[in-house]
Structure formats: C-alpha cells, structure tokens
Amino acid sequence: MKTIQAYRFALDLTPGQERDVLAHAGAARVAHNWALARVKAVMDQRAAERTYGVPEEMLTPTVSWTLPALRKAWNVAKPDVAPWWRECSKEAFNTGLDALARALKNWADSRSGKRAGRPVGFPGFKSRRRSIASVRFSTGTIRVESDRKHVVLPRLGRLKLHECARKLARRIDNGTARIMSACVRRDGGRWHVAFCVEVERPERLPARPGAVLGVDVGIRHLAVLSTGELIDNPRYLTSAHQRMRALARALARKTGPDRRTGRRASKRWERAAARLGRAHTRVANLRRDGLHKLTTRLTREYATVVIEDLNVAGMLANRKLGRHIADAGFAEIRRQLTYKTGWNGGRLILADRWYPSSKTCSGCGVVKTKLALSEREYQCGSCGLVLDRDLNAARNLAALAADATTAGSGPAAGRGADRKTPLAGLVALKRQPGTAPAGQTGTVSPQGETANRVLARAH
Ligand SMILES: [Zn+2]
C-alpha cells in the first residue's frame, strides 16, 4: 500500500545555518508579498474601472494566479524586485509563490462554493515578525546522511539532526521510501525538518481480525472503550494552566509591540513571549504523543472501530467546555483513527451525529427521551440494566458495527460533509402525538429535530 507520510525531525542549527534558513524564509516572504500585491493591484483596478462604467471587455486584463504563471512573472521581475535573488535557492521563492497560489485558489473555491467548510478569507501580506519562518525544497540534493544524524539540503548543506533519523533511513535503504520534498520550519522556538515521503507500507491485519470496538470520547475520561477499559484524560493544558497564567502575566508587564505607534517590543518582552510559546509547545507535544500511542494501540488490535461523528467545531464554541474539548483533542483522535485503521487493515465507522448512543439501552435497545448530563449511571426502565453512562454509549457504538453495512461507512467523509451512517436493522420513525411506546412518557422537545427521530428495531 502506497501512502504519503511525513517524517519530522528536530534540527540543531549553527548560528550561521540559522541565518541561511532565515534568509531563505525571508526570500519566500518577499516573493509571496510581491505576487500578492500584483494580483491585488489588478483586482482593485478592475473594480475601480467597473464603477466608472467601463465595459467588461475593455477592463484591465486579469492576471493568472496559478503557480506556473506566478513563477513566470516572478522570474521576469526578480532582477528589479530582489537584485540579491542569486543568494537564495529558487526553491525559496517557489515556497512563497506556491503558498500564495494555494491561498488564492482556496479563497476562489470557497467563494464559488466549490470548497466545503468555513469560508476562506483573501490572503494577507506576510510579516517578518508574525509569520512562521519556513522554506520547502522539492528538487535538488535532499538526503539523509549514512550516519543518520545529518541531512543534506540544497544550498543549506549538511544540517545536524537533534535526533536520529534511523526510522526514515532504514526505509530509504531497503527501497520502501522515496523523499519527495523537505520543509525546514521554525515552530515553538525550535527548528524542524519535515520530509514528505512516499512510503510503501506492508499490508497489515489487525491482531484481532473479527473484533469490534466502540469508543466513546469524553472529558471525564478521554475515551471509554466498549471492552470496559477507561482511558484517562491527562488534561495537559489544565495542569500547565497555572504556569501559563504566570508566564502570560509576566509578559503583559513588559513592553510589547504596538502597531499604532510603531513601537518595537523590548528584548525582555521577546524572551518572555518565547517562554510562553515554549510552554504551549510542550503541552501540544505531550498531547500529540499521548493520542498517537492510544490510536496506534487501538487500530493495531481491533478490525472495526466505531466512534461518534461529533460536531467538534460547534462544541469548541462553547465557552465553558471549549478549552477542555480542545485539550482532549477529539478531532485529532478521529483524524488519527481514520488513517490508522486504513494502515492496519481495519475500518472506521462513524456513527451519525444524531444517533442517541447515550440514551439507548445497550441491553434491550429502548431509547430514553431524556437523559441529563449529570446522570452518570444509565438505568434502564424496561430491563433494569444499570451501567456506567459512557460504557453504555461505547457498547451501543460497538453494536452499530453489526448493523452498519460495509459500503459507504468506511473512512471519514470530507470536511464539511454531513454523512449519515446507514443502519440496516434500524429505521427512523417520526413519532406522532400520543404514540409514545410504553414506558416512555417524555415529551418531544419543541426545537429539537433530534428528539423527533426515534430509532426502533425493524424486526
Ligand atoms: Zn434496557
């Protein structure tokens, strides 16, 4: 199975190498800003001409904003715009132009409705102070040295890795990996190189080919598995919160930058900002490490994993819960499970966003109309089952796997798409007034279409 995968390593740059990389990142920014100004000038000119009533065919001609067109225009203009262009690799300018071409395409597609998800804004100019320094090389000498402690990149030469690259080097040596590009980037105060690699992965089967696992993600426990296992929520951000508040307070007391007066930040402010940034990076690193270990373990073991299709973007908007949900990384769990089930020969089933996994009894299938968030125990009125609320939900999710047909319920749908899990054994009934099943006397909530849809066994 061929996949595109990233291998990312921390770098130890010498001061001279750091200057070189920053010069390349600056070159990318210059090309980006120059091309953006050119596209904007033509767009503004056309808009102005339209207001004067100039007919459509007499307007200033449009400029193409595809990458080849931008590159061609840049190569004509670069002796004037950047007389120093020979000092940097052409890949540096390509990095900036490529970013712009993508940004403009995303903006245009979003405006014409071709792109799902949130609206994308018009690209802005990049600033030396605010943008993340990065440069991507896609041609030339890109290799990992045989000592596995150094990488060689065009123009930048031999860079020392902070960690050993043996995982990637082994794959390259036995011919199952091919480096397509390398991106050097500064994030969280540290330089990284990320290789975009085409990897030939061996076909794998999960350790338990027939096994089904329901995963109920939450805040109290990061995940409750249908096997009864509880995965603790480490709450990295909560534990680091106090220190971060202190760092943020210390930062606020120092002389920061002011865009109105053009005041530069003080050295102390910059050092304090870096300290706060490192604290955030540490939280992100801990979280990513924990989630990867969890999702790898689950997808290596179980052939079918069922999770709920949660509206994470909507939940993040909740002021009280948003921080905790972001800290737990719900969306990241789902993203990792999606591709890792593919790598390990399993499949992921997404339960419909409106599927009442918490309200259904995992013993007899009766659906409660009301279940307060404070009720931590699920108590069934018809069969007398008493079970932890989240474990009940996880078991219901696992049971969905038997009902869901294989077709159409594999990997996650694209962003913005609202795909429903087909349920073979369950049909949706619209409840009519006075037809509530025995034992359920709840009223239908007036605004919720969720409450109107009751799932009942068809057979
Ligand atoms: Zn029951």
Residue 309 has what pLDDT?
A: 81
Q: What is the pLDDT of residues 237-282, one digit of tens each?
A: 888 889 999 999 999 999 988 888 989 899 999 999 999 999 999 9
Q: Which amino acid is at 150?
A: H
- Residue of 20, 91, 98, 390 with catalytic role: 390
Residue 329 has what pLDDT?
A: 80
Has 308 been annotated as catalytic? yes
Residue 378 C-alpha to ligand 1 middle, in angstroms?
A: 9
Q: What is the pLDDT of residues 406-458, one digit of tens each?
A: 434 444 433 444 444 444 434 343 333 433 344 343 333 333 333 333 343 33
Structural tokens at position 256:
């920061």
Has 258 been annotated as catalytic? no
Antiparallel, parallel or unpaired: β 150-153 and 157-161: antiparallel
DSSP 191-217: EEEEEEEEEEPPP---SEEEEEEEEEE
Residue 195 C-alpha to ligand 1 middle, in angstroms?
A: 52
User: Counting beta carbons within 10 angstroms of the beta carbon of residue 174, is it exposed (0 to 12), middle (13 to 18) or buried (19 or more)?
Assistant: exposed
Residue 382 C-alpha to ligand 1 middle, in angstroms?
A: 5
CA distances from 143 to 16, 138, 151, 176, 183 (A): 21, 12, 6, 15, 13
Q: Residue 215: is its pLDDT beyond 50?
A: yes
Residue 351 C-alpha to ligand 1 middle, in angstroms?
A: 20
- Residues around ion ligand 1, judged by CB within 5 A, are 361, 363-364, 380, 383, 385
For the entire predicted model, the pTM comes to 0.77
If one compares 441 and 159, the residue with the highest pLDDT of the two is 159
- Residue of 308, 309, 327, 352 with catalytic role: 308
Q: How many CA atoms lie within 13 A of 339 on its CB side?
A: 12
Residue 404 has what pLDDT?
A: 64
Has 57 been annotated as catalytic? no
